[in-house]
A and B are shown apart, each in its own frame.
Chain A
Amino acid sequence: MNAKLKIALLSMLGFSTVACCGSKKAGGKKDDAQPQIIESDSINTGIILMYGVPFPDGRPASPISEEEAAKRVEEIRTNEAATEDNVEVQKKEENEEEITIQRGPAPAPDGTLVTPITEEEAAKLIEEMESDKGKAQHGPARLPDGSAASTLSEEEAAKRVAEMEAKSEQAQK
């Protein structure tokens, strides 16, 4: 598999390829710099180093007036205030999109998400499953509400029976 294909796969998996192609992820934000894309089939451009600086975007630099700079800061502040609600909506949409892209773990039947496990844990589980094959594992019986019935002591069982009988008498009255 050549490098370009690997970079394409990384993109499809949803990972930024800034280290691969030197371009900055847009992030959906307004930014006055349009990054220059450095086409490359290798990585290491675009990563900002400790004690380093961001890679220049290729545009020539020129001074603007203080007033113009202040105006641009004010515009950013105004946009921030005006789009607060939109950010919330957008955030929700991005989260939903992220979940779709991630193709993350499918929810369990009760709606909870399965916690991701490491390869070693997965391998161990498979091993355990293989070694348990053939053994009947009925596990604890399920109560009507879905919870596992636990083994009761004789005293607890007697207490429960007495409670049930008392409730039944109450209902009949």
Chain B
Amino acid sequence: MKGQRLGLRKQIGLKLFNSLYDTAVERHTLRTLFWECTLRCNLKCRHCGSDCRTDVTERDMPLADFLRVLDEEVTPNIDPSQLLIIFSGGEVLVRSDIEEAGREVTRRGYMWGMVTNGMALSRERLRSLVAAGLRSISVSFDGFEPIHNHIRGNAHSFERARAAISYIREIEGLTYDVITCVTPALVERLEEWKEYLISEGITRWRIFSIFPAGRARHDDTLHLNAEQFRHLMEFIRHTRTEGRIDLNYACEGFLGGYEGEVRDHFYMCNAGVSVASIRVNGDISGCTSVRANYTQGNIYRDSFWQVWQDRFEVFRNRRWAHKGECAECRVWEFCRGGGMHLRDDDGELMYCHYKMLK
């Protein structure tokens, strides 16, 4: 098992990558923009970090408001073909105007994509989204039927996700992957689950472990212990070596000896560096996975582009995070205090991947 130790080759690689990371921070070229178009959802998953459900009080952001930001703030300052817009929720498909939104951003030269739980993704709906310019999609698929349905809280969710994936495979040229949130119930059956995904013709797979936020915060049945986490890392490393399915661990967390071996890139937190989000209430922040209050402005009050250029200091300079358990950490220079989504409102670290590898 790899654990925390970094070999010399990896240390050199990480140092090189670190300097590139510094350049990326300095330039902060916007590459991904999340539009949190709704917090409504047709499920109420146990692990939802955004606490999404059917009865939220926040109204959906009108499409026109988002398009105004694109037209007045973003498009004049970037090349639209180099920016990926991700429609985010909640469950995006609860909105009936997603096709209109897709057509509008496509018309402006942007690529767009979305994540879905598959519940509302019929063959017809998918084809209308593709016709509206959908270029990339991810489907949540959390394990065998009992496991998936338990997490999603719906007896039909597994079958609907499976069907959604089959419809996606009928679209040539549509980039997609399948996301699995690995829970203790699945961790011993990962090999079986992998074989199942391969038998379904899935070629691209992403694995998350669940971080303690939102509804998942106090549910211990969802969190992997250290031994399970290490088992997961070994599984991913082995699967990547096999080469039968393209598997990546999520972008979060510095992974010590597993860096460069369980995903296609070294760890870096892109929130506020190349990624911004416009929340359903107009707040401007990093990735939508950042649920603590690191809001940098609001589109109904501030210039989005000015906020992007002149604020986001807390995301771009992480020295403030060099405290607590990070203060004496030997891998601080590579980790920089972990992903922003793992910091609470007080800046305290909620979860450390590196420590799990001890």
Q: Which residues of A pack against B, CB within 8 Å?
A: 1, 3, 6-7, 9-10, 13-16, 18-20, 24-25, 27-29, 31-33, 38, 42-57, 59-66, 68-69, 72-73, 76-77, 80, 87, 90-91, 94-95, 98, 102-105, 115-120
A and B contact pairs by CB, cutoff 8 A, 17 listed: A15-B13, A15-B266, A27-B240, A44-B24, A46-B264, A49-B275, A50-B250, A52-B287, A53-B84, A53-B136, A56-B175, A57-B173, A69-B169, A77-B199, A94-B241, A104-B9, A118-B330
Q: Mark B228-243, 1 if CB is under 8 A from A, else 0.
A: 0000000000001111
Name the B residues within 8 Å of A51 (CB-CB).
34, 86, 88, 115, 287-289
Q: Which residues of B pack against A, CB within 8 Å?
A: 5-9, 11-13, 16-17, 19-21, 23-24, 27, 29, 31-32, 34, 82, 84, 86, 88, 111, 113-115, 127, 130, 134-138, 166, 169-177, 198-201, 203-204, 206, 208, 240-246, 248, 250-252, 260, 264-266, 268, 270, 273-275, 287-289, 330, 339, 341
Assuming the contacts A27-B240, A53-B137, A116-B7, asked whether A19 and B266 have C-beta atoms less than 8 A apart, the reply is: yes
Assuming the contacts A63-B170, A63-B171, A64-B172, asked whether A55 and B84 have C-beta atoms less than 8 A apart, the reply is: yes
Contact of B242 among A47, A87, A120 (CB under 8 A): A87
Flag if B264 contacts A16 (CB, 8 Å): yes
| Chain B residue at minimal CB-CB distance from A76 | B201
Flag if A9 contacts B16 (CB, 8 Å): yes
Flag if B251 contacts A50 (CB, 8 Å): yes
Known contacts A27-B246, A56-B136; 4 additional CB pairs below 8 A are A18-B265, A31-B204, A45-B31, A61-B171
Contact of A50 among B8, B23, B252 (CB under 8 A): B252
Name the A residues within 8 Å of B32 (CB-CB).
49, 52
Whole-angstrom distance from the CB of A44 to the nearest CB of chain B? 4
Flag if B12 contacts A13 (CB, 8 Å): yes
Whole-angstrom distance from the CB of A16 to the nearest CB of chain B? 5
Name the B residues within 8 Å of A48 (CB-CB).
177, 206, 248, 251
Flag if B246 contacts A73 (CB, 8 Å): no
Flag if B31 contacts A33 (CB, 8 Å): no
Flag if B260 contacts A16 (CB, 8 Å): yes
